[in-house]
């Protein structure tokens, strides 16, 4: 047997017939930039995420970058985020010339530890970027309280968490902005790169749309320096079709998580992903188990040998990345993130996973943990 970490071909087979006519029509029209597919997608995704507005953009990274540019964040400013995330979350802060300020995660759910944020706030702080890692929401209430108290904007990095809920509220609709990624491996994946910014304030939404297109409004008139952050019409057309299937796929991911919990009940020296009480809908972008006693790499190798796709998200916390050495952080600064980087392992959770595959993965894992 062989199980990939993600099987996008299985999903495509289900959708082929539905996609074909829409794509054929789009190709015939040769209208590839902005247009009705984007407008429809913005309304559909904003509504799905309980947000007022959506701004369809070129990627999740560009969604984050666009927000910081539209907010005028730059040199001299500080932005607080987690070191235990995909690089883009902090990369965009540095790209606008601001300073990433890291705050450690809490140990159970891998999201930013809200109780440690306030100590990192300085007069230069402009924003907080919490990440809803692996499809589970960060603890937003205390984050929003700190932001209001210090007049900071909150940008939710919901790249892994479309449809996730915090106390019944959808990820990306709680802060000033929410950033989604439609990278193919995310729960709602495009046929290439794509992303979206969500916002509730109409003025903010308008500004995003202008910055997405070189800050141009009206045509050939530029009050601001924006960029080309537009989503392709092709991606919007694909995503409108896929969005209809998202709840079904999410339910399948959640079923897989339950099955793993049952199959791995007896495992020792290992923990299943924990669910926070405030996380009322976990969308399971990744299923990340934790292997203690320095055995993670041994187990990882055993799974690789059994041809089971798995990976570590993320092996090097961002404060230890060479490109951020100028920030002056050292090993030991964020011990919870550093420990997680040594002990976590993501195993397949994609919707099309069969029971036989899950059983094979669980059996291999149990044997590796006992060896
Ligand atoms: C995927 C991801 C991004 C970046 O999205 P892209 O569409 O790949 O640019 C940002 N933050 C997090 C947490 C992600 O997982």
Q: Is the CB of 59 under 6 A from ligand 1?
A: yes
Testing ligand 1's pocket by substitution, the residue of 59, 60, 79, 137 carrying the most ligand atoms inside 8 A of its CB is 60
Is 1 inside any structural domain? no
Closest residue by Cα to residue 314 from 36, 88, 22: 88
Cβ atoms < 10 Å from Cβ of 293: 11
Q: Ligand 1 mean position to 100 CA, how many Å?
A: 17
Q: Is the CB of 58 under 6 A from ligand 1?
A: no
The confidence score (pLDDT) of residue 266 equals: 85
Rg (CA), the chain: 21
Q: Of ligand 1's atoms, which has the minimum distance to the CA of residue 131?
A: 13
Pairing mode, if any, of strands 78-81 and 287-291? unpaired
Q: Is the CB of 364 under 6 A from ligand 1?
A: no
Q: Of ligand 1's atoms, which has the minimum distance to the CA of residue 195?
A: 7
**Cβ–Cβ < 8 Å for 364, 306:** yes
Q: Is 129 found in the same domain as 151?
A: yes
Is 2 inside any structural domain? no
Q: Would the pLDDT of 293 be above 90?
A: no
Q: Is 66 found in the same domain as 30?
A: yes
Placement of tokens 């106390």 in the chain: 167
**Cis peptide upstream of residue 218 (ω within 30 degrees of 0):** yes
Stretch 108-123: mean pLDDT: 98
- Residues 6+ positions from 220 with CB-CB distance below 8 Å: none
Placement of tokens 């894992």 in the chain: 365
Q: Of ligand 1's atoms, which has the minimum distance to the CA of residue 160?
A: 15
Is 150 inside any structural domain? yes
Q: Would the pLDDT of 18 be above 90?
A: yes
Note down the domain range covering 39: 8-103+112-243
Ligand 1, atom 6, residue with closest C-alpha: 60
Q: Is 311 found in the same domain as 177?
A: no
Q: How far apart are CA 349 and CA 352, in angstroms?
A: 8
Q: Is 145 found in the same domain as 27?
A: yes
Testing ligand 1's pocket by substitution, the residue of 100, 158, 182, 183 carrying the most ligand atoms inside 8 A of its CB is 183
Closest residue by Cα to residue 33 from 287, 271, 249, 237: 237
Q: Of ligand 1's atoms, which has the minimum distance to the CA of residue 285?
A: 15
> How many folded domains does the chain comprise?
2
The confidence score (pLDDT) of residue 230 equals: 97
Q: Is 360 found in the same domain as 341?
A: yes
Is 75 inside any structural domain? yes
Where a domain ends, among 243, 271, 305? 243
3-state helix, strand, coil in the chain (%, to 5): 45, 15, 40
**Cβ–Cβ < 8 Å for 367, 359:** no
CATH of the domain at 168: 3.40.640.10
Q: Is the CB of 60 under 6 A from ligand 1?
A: yes
Q: Is 180 found in the same domain as 82?
A: yes
Stretch 90-104: mean pLDDT: 98
Cβ atoms < 10 Å from Cβ of 35: 15
Q: Is the CB of 131 under 6 A from ligand 1?
A: yes
| pLDDT tens sequence across 126-140 | 999 999 999 999 999
Q: Is 86 found in the same domain as 185?
A: yes
Q: How far apart are CA 41 and CA 283, in angstroms?
A: 20
| pLDDT tens sequence across 132-167 | 999 999 999 999 999 999 999 999 999 999 999 999
Stretch 183-187: mean pLDDT: 97
**Cβ–Cβ < 8 Å for 166, 280:** yes
Token digits of residue 117: 């944020």
Ligand 1, atom 2, residue with closest C-alpha: 159
Is 222 inside any structural domain? yes
Give percent above pLDDT 70 in the chain: 100
Q: Of ligand 1's atoms, which has the minimum distance to the CA of residue 62?
A: 9
Q: Is 308 found in the same domain as 231?
A: no
Is 3 inside any structural domain? no
Q: What DSSP element (H or E) covers 245?
A: none
Stretch 38-53: mean pLDDT: 98
Q: How far apart are CA 307 and CA 288, in angstroms?
A: 18
First to last CA, the chain: 21
Where a domain ends, among 196, 218, 243? 243
| pLDDT tens sequence across 351-365 | 999 999 999 999 999
Q: How far apart are CA 58 and CA 282, in angstroms?
A: 26
Q: pTM for the full model?
A: 0.98
Alpha-helix residue ranges (DSSP H) falling in 201-273? 202-212, 233-243, 246-263
Q: What is the DSSP letter of 228?
A: B
The confidence score (pLDDT) of residue 76 equals: 98
> What are the DSSP E strand ranges found in the chain?
53-57, 78-81, 99-102, 125-129, 153-157, 165-166, 169-170, 177-181, 195-199, 270-271, 279-281, 287-291, 344-347
The confidence score (pLDDT) of residue 371 equals: 85
Q: Is 91 found in the same domain as 201?
A: yes
Q: Would the pLDDT of 300 be above 90?
A: yes
Stretch 170-181: mean pLDDT: 98
Q: Ligand 1 mean position to 262 CA, how many Å?
A: 31
The confidence score (pLDDT) of residue 7 equals: 93
- Residues 6+ positions from 91 with CB-CB distance below 8 Å: 61
CATH of the domain at 351: 3.90.1150.10
The confidence score (pLDDT) of residue 268 equals: 87
Testing ligand 1's pocket by substitution, the residue of 88, 91, 193, 196 carrying the most ligand atoms inside 8 A of its CB is 88
User: Residue 56: pLDDT band by 50, 70, 90 thresholds?
Assistant: very high
Closest residue by Cα to residue 208 from 260, 129, 133, 155: 155
Q: Is the CB of 286 under 6 A from ligand 1?
A: no
Q: How far apart are CA 263 and CA 358, in angstroms?
A: 8
Q: Is 165 found in the same domain as 87?
A: yes
Q: Ligand 1 mean position to 267 CA, how many Å?
A: 32
The confidence score (pLDDT) of residue 267 equals: 86
Q: Ligand 1 mean position to 174 CA, how many Å?
A: 19
The confidence score (pLDDT) of residue 193 equals: 98
Q: Is 152 found in the same domain as 18?
A: yes
Q: Would the pLDDT of 309 be above 90?
A: yes
Q: Is 233 found in the same domain as 251?
A: no
Where a domain ends, among 198, 215, 243? 243
């Amino acid at each position: 047997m062989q199980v990939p970490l993600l099987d996008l071909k299985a999903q495509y087979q289900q959708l082929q017939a539905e996609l074909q006519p829409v794509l054929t029509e789009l190709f015939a029209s040769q209208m590839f930039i902005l247009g009705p597919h984007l407008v429809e997608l913005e309304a559909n995704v904003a509504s799905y995420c309980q947000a007022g507005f959506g701004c369809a953009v070129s990627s999740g990274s560009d969604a984050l970058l666009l927000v910081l540019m539209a907010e005028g964040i730059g040199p001299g400013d500080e932005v607080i985020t987690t070191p235990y995330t995909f690089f883009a979350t902090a990369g965009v802060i540095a790209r606008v010339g601001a300073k990433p300020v890291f705050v450690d995660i809490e140990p159970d759910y891998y999201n930013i530890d809200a109780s440690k944020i306030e100590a990192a706030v300085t007069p230069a702080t402009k924003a907080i970027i919490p990440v809803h890692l692996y499809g589970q929401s960060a603890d937003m209430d205390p984050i929003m309280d700190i932001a209001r108290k210090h007049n900071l904007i909150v940008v939710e990095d919901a790249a892994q968490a479309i449809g996730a809920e915090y106390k019944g509220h959808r990820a990306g609709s709680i802060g000033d902005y929410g950033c989604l990624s439609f990278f193919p491996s995310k729960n709602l994946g495009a046929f290439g790169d794509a992303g979206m910014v969500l916002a509730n304030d109409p003025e903010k939404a308008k500004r995003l749309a202008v910055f997405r297109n070189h800050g141009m409004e009206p045509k050939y008139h530029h009050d601001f320096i924006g960029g080309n952050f537009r989503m392709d019409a092709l991606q919007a057309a694909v995503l409108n079709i896929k969005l209809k299937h998202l709840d079904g796929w999410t339910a399948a991911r959640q079923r897989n998580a339950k099955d793993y919990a049952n199959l791995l009940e007896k495992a020792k020296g290992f923990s299943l992903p924990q669910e926070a009480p405030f996380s009322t809908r976990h969308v399971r972008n990744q299923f990340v188990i934790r292997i203690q006693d320095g055995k993670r790499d041994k187990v990882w190798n055993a799974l690789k040998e059994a041809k089971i796709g798995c990976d570590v998200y993320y092996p090097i916390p961002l404060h230890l990345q060479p490109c951020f050495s100028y920030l002056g952080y050292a090993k030991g600064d964020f011990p919870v993130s550093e420990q997680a980087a040594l002990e976590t392992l993501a195993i397949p959770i994609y919707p099309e996973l069969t029971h036989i595959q899950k059983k094979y993965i669980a059996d291999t894992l149990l044997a590796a943990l006992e060896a």
